[in-house]
Amino acid sequence: MKHLFALNKYFLKNKWRLILGLLFTAISIVFSVFQPIMVRQIFDLLSHNIDEYRLLSDTPLKGAFRADFTHVLAFYGVSILLFALLSGFFLFLQRQTLIVMSRHIEYDLKNEVYQHYQQLDLNFFKMHRTGDLMSRITEDVSRVRMYVGPAIMYASRTLFLIVVIVYLMLQVNPLLTLYTLSPLPLLALTIYFVNRIIHRKSERIQAQLSNITSIAQESYSGIRVIKSYVQEDASAKHFEEASEAYKISSVSLAKTDALFQPTMALMIGLSVILTIFIGGIQVIAGNITVGNLAEFVIYVNMLMFPFFSIGMVASMIQRAAASQQRINEFLQIEPTIRDEPTAKTVDIQGGIRLQNVTFTYPHTGITAINNFNLHIAPGQKVAVIGRTGSGKSTLAQLLIRMYDPQEGKVMLDGHDIRYLQLANLRGQISYVPQDVFLFSDSVANNIRFGDPSASLQMVQTAARQASVEKDILGFSEGFDTEIGERGVTLSGGQKQRISIARALIKNPDILIFDDCLSAVDARTEKEIIGNLYAYLKNKTAIIITHRIFSLFAFDKIIVLDEGKIVEEGTHDDLLSLNGYYSELYARQQSGEDESVTK
Ligand SMILES: Nc1ncnc2c1ncn2[C@@H]1O[C@H](COP(=O)(O)OP(=O)(O)OP(=O)(O)O)[C@@H](O)[C@H]1O
């Protein structure tokens, strides 16, 4: 339960909706209890006067008596209808306030979780599965909404109704009240347990359903692999097995559901029979009137749903508490990469220095950068080369402060980047990642992501510089062509170049290209490098690559191995070292490596 306290701030924010909702609930209940009271009065009126009326002979007096009776009955009928309408109207207002409040809280909570996710650092996303992150923002928030809306609504209604009705019952006859109410706690308890069973079964069905969905999704995405390996039958069998498990669970839930309603009807029936039996004895004994008995039968019926909802509300709260606990777990995680209180903004010129930097990935213990020193002057172009896993991408991640090193300092123009505002730092660096990511949006908007205020002309220029303009103009809708599942399917090279255009349009002082030309052919690569040459004139650039671009006059080339610089210098310096670089160069020259850019 204590996990739900985290929601109190939202109740406070919506206090007027909550107060009004509770008030409307109380008013609706007051109007609803007029019905049994009036029914009692009608019954008593009839039972007291009917014998007298029957004894009258057919005289005008009997006619007048009947007319009076009819008027009184009509009056009660209209009054009951009026009170029912009023009660219904306030019930409507109650839902309009409490359920609306729950939707507002759901909206705020979703945004809070989403915004918190945005603050968290990469390590968090590495450690949690995407499905888990998504289910906390969707399913868990929905379960919490059941607590802040329906559970509060049913609980308050139940509480008010029980207080008012039990008070009215006790006024009539305490003993009959006791007998009448005795089966109801059993009803609440049964509902609670049955609800738990139903919930457990529903959860299992839900998990099986998402399993079926992911099997289907995976086989549609991998349909080419399935067909080329002639695995259609195996894939269908796999799906059938998952469907079979789902069917078994669904049937089992249907059986429990089928038992649920008759059990309820039995309990309600028992309560009514008990009321009539004990009440009848009390009427004969002269302790209560026939009207009281009728009134009690209505009370019992009115109390059924509230008692029924006790069990329902209890399991709703239990589920919401478990969900809120999962949400709180994430909300309580503090981002480790964040602005220091004294963080400043600076206009970066492009000088980079790494001083004795050591970085170990926290969750794997792999030391990717080891006692690393590097200096890049503003405007220099540096190539970073090295075997796979040598730490090249990690170096890029450290420069944009996706991670903080455990030892040493990363500095830009002499400022330790830990003390620069993150938005200021990242706003002045363009990073083109190795694994390209494009959004399901138009080509233009994907490029504009680097500068949302960019004009179409700027988008076109960036696309030209990244040598992808011709490809884009070849699409049916040019720059407005949609990318993604329902849009055009881009080649790996086209994606890489759009991603480069996105980085260029940002017009930063520092650019980091992380092996982002791996999927383009040698001719296009030459063209891009030619364009970049002019673009990068006064900018600092780090180009991480597996290949040697001998066309590009780098100020410095560094070769990494196991997180350390093992070779450093210009192209000619490195060739004379006869190390990894010259070996790679020789391999490329001899044409062993087809991707060589000569
Ligand atoms: N997110 C991560 N979590 C844990 N370990 C990682 C992570 N990313 C990389 N590593 C490890 O750190 C080391 C350096 O990886 P890095 O990606 O920096 O190499 P790289 O030189 O860029 O390789 P490649 O050329 O294949 O991209 C590797 O041993 C890798 O397994």
For residues 468 and 547, state if they share a domain. no
Look at residue 597 in the predicted model and tell me its pLDDT: 44
Picking from 449, 483, 507, the residue at the C-terminal end of a domain is: 507
How much is the pLDDT for 55? Answer: 74
Sequence-ordered strand ranges (E) for 304-380 = 352-360, 367-376
CA atoms within 13 A on the CB side of 269: 6
From 516, 566, 513, select the one nearest 543 (Cα to Cα): 513
Q: What's the pLDDT band for 486 if we cut at 50, 70, 90?
A: low
Q: What's the mean pLDDT in 550-568?
A: 88
Out of 104-113, 449-458, 516-525, least confident range: 516-525
How far is Cα 309 from Cα 401, in angstroms, rounded to an integer?
Answer: 52
Q: Which strands, in side-by-side order, build the sheet including 429-432?
A: 429-432, 510-514, 540-545, 381-386, 556-561, 564-569
Split at pLDDT 50, 70, 90, the class of 537 is: confident
Average pLDDT over every residue of 466-495:
84
Considering its fold, how many domains does the chain have in total? 3
Residues 59 and 136 in one domain: yes
Look at residue 544 and tell me if it is in a domain: yes
Region for residue 484 given its phi and psi (left: phi exceeds 0; alpha: psi -120 to 50; beta: otherwise): left
**Interval between CA 417 and ligand 1 midpoint (Å):** 22
93-115 CB burial, b ≥16 within 10 A, e <16: bbbebbbebbeebbebbbebbee
Cα gap 530→533, rounded to integer Å = 5
Residue nearest atom 25 of ligand 1, based on CA coordinates: 388
pLDDT tens-digit series, residues 285-320: 988 899 999 999 999 888 888 887 887 888 889 889
Instruction: Confirm if 372 and 399 have CB atoms less than 8 A apart.
Output: no
**Cα separation, 231 vs 226, whole angstroms:** 5
* Residue 563, amino acid: G
CATH assignment of the domain containing 92: 1.20.1560.10
Q: Is residue 148 part of a domain?
A: yes
Distance CA 281, CA 16 (A): 49
DSSP 450-480: T-TT--HHHHHHHHHHTT-HHHHHHSTTGGG
Three-class SS state of 489: coil
- Whether residue 216 is predicted with pLDDT greater than 60 in this model: the reply is yes
Residue 595's pLDDT is: 43
- Nearest residue (by CA) to ligand 1, atom 30, is 389
Domain contains 228: no
Domain end (from 470, 491, 507): 507
Give residue 524's pLDDT.
80
Tell which phi-psi region holds residue 389, choosing left (phi > 0), alpha (psi between -120 and 50) or beta.
left
My answer on whether 381 and 487 are in the same domain is: no
- Taking the chain, what is the end-to-end CA distance rounded to the nearest angstrom? 68
What pLDDT is recorded for position 596? 43
Lowest-pLDDT range of 1-10, 190-199, 450-459: 190-199
Place of tokens 């991408």: 393
How far apart, in whole angstroms, are the C-alpha atoms of residue 101 and residue 11? 9
The one-character DSSP state at 133 is: H
How remote is the CA of residue 36 from the centroid of ligand 1, in Å?
75
* Mean pLDDT, residues 552-560: 89
Which of 36-50, 208-222, 225-239, 529-543 has the highest mean predicted lDDT (pLDDT)? Answer: 225-239
Question: 526 and 441 share a domain?
Answer: no
Residue 213 has pLDDT above 60, yes or no: yes
Assess whether 412 and 459 both reside in one domain: no
CA distances from 294 to 135, 241, 277, 279, 306 (A): 50, 56, 12, 9, 20
- The residues that bridge with 442 in the sheet, in sequence order, are 482
| Calpha distance 136→120 (Å, rounded) | 15
Please, which residues bridge with residue 385 across strands?
545, 559
Q: Are residues 440 and 402 in the same domain?
A: no
Poorest-pLDDT segment among 15-24, 85-94, 576-585: 576-585
SS3 355: strand
Amino acid 80: pLDDT = 92
556 in any annotated domain = yes
Task: Tell me what ipTM this predicted complex has.
Answer: 0.95
Q: Is the pLDDT of residue 592 over 70?
A: no
pLDDT-based confidence at 598, cuts 50/70/90? very low
In-domain check, residue 190 = no
485: which DSSP letter?
T
> Which residue minimizes the CA distance to atom 26 of ligand 1?
388
List the one residue out of 423, 472, 420, 421 whose CA is nearest residue 446. 472
The pLDDT assigned to 488 comes to 66
Q: Tens of pLDDT along 401-453?
A: 999 999 999 999 999 999 999 999 999 999 999 888 888 889 999 999 989 99
Domain shared by 502 and 564, yes or no: no
| Cα 403 to ligand 1 centroid, rounded to whole Å | 13
What is the number of other CB atoms lying within 10 angstroms of the CB of residue 548? 25
Q: What is the pLDDT of residues 346-395, one digit of tens each?
A: 888 889 999 999 999 988 889 999 999 999 999 999 999 998 889 999 99
Q: Would you place residue 577 in the very low, low, confident or very high pLDDT band (cuts 50, 70, 90)?
A: confident
Q: Which domain holds residue 42?
A: 2-173+288-331
Which residues have C-beta atoms less than 6 Å from ligand 1? 126, 361, 364, 366, 368, 386, 388-394, 434
Q: Could you tell me which residues come within 8 angstroms of residue 530 by beta carbon, excluding any fewer than 6 positions away?
A: 551
- Pair (16, 30) in one structural domain: yes
Q: How far apart are CA 395 and CA 372, in angstroms?
A: 10
Average pLDDT over residues 107-128: 90
Instruction: Please report whether residue 75 resides in a domain.
Output: yes
User: What is the mean pLDDT of the segment spanning 253-281?
Assistant: 85
233 within domain boundaries: no
- Percentage of the chain beyond pLDDT 90 is 48
Same domain, 47 and 166: yes
pLDDT value at residue 487: 59
The answer, yes or no, to whether residue 593 has pLDDT greater than 60, is no
Task: Please state the φ and ψ torsions of residue 232, each to the nearest 5 degrees.
Answer: -60, -45
* Ligand 1 mutation target, pool 337, 357, 361, 566, most atoms within 8 A of CB: 361
Summarised one tens digit per residue, pLDDT across range 179-203 is 888 877 887 788 788 878 888 888 8
Cα of 465 from ligand 1 centre, angstroms: 30
- Could you give the angle at the alpha carbon of 543 between the alpha carbons of 594 and 353, nearest 5°? 150
518 and 585 belong to one structural domain: yes
Is 269 among the domain residues?
no
Interval between CA 394 and ligand 1 midpoint (Å)? 6
Contact 340, 418 (CB under 8 A): yes
Residue nearest to atom 3 of ligand 1 (CA): 361
CATH code, domain with 491: 3.40.50.300
Instruction: Look at residue 594 in the predicted model and tell me its pLDDT.
Output: 45
- Domain-terminating residue out of 507, 527, 548: 507
Q: Which atom of ligand 1 is nearest to the CA of 434?
A: 27
pLDDT, mean over the chain? 88
Q: Are residues 153 and 65 in the same domain?
A: yes
Residues 383 and 528 in one domain: yes
Mean pLDDT of 56-78: 81
Spacing, Cα 389 to ligand 1 middle (Å) = 5
Which residue minimizes the CA distance to atom 5 of ligand 1?
361
Section 200-210 average pLDDT: 83
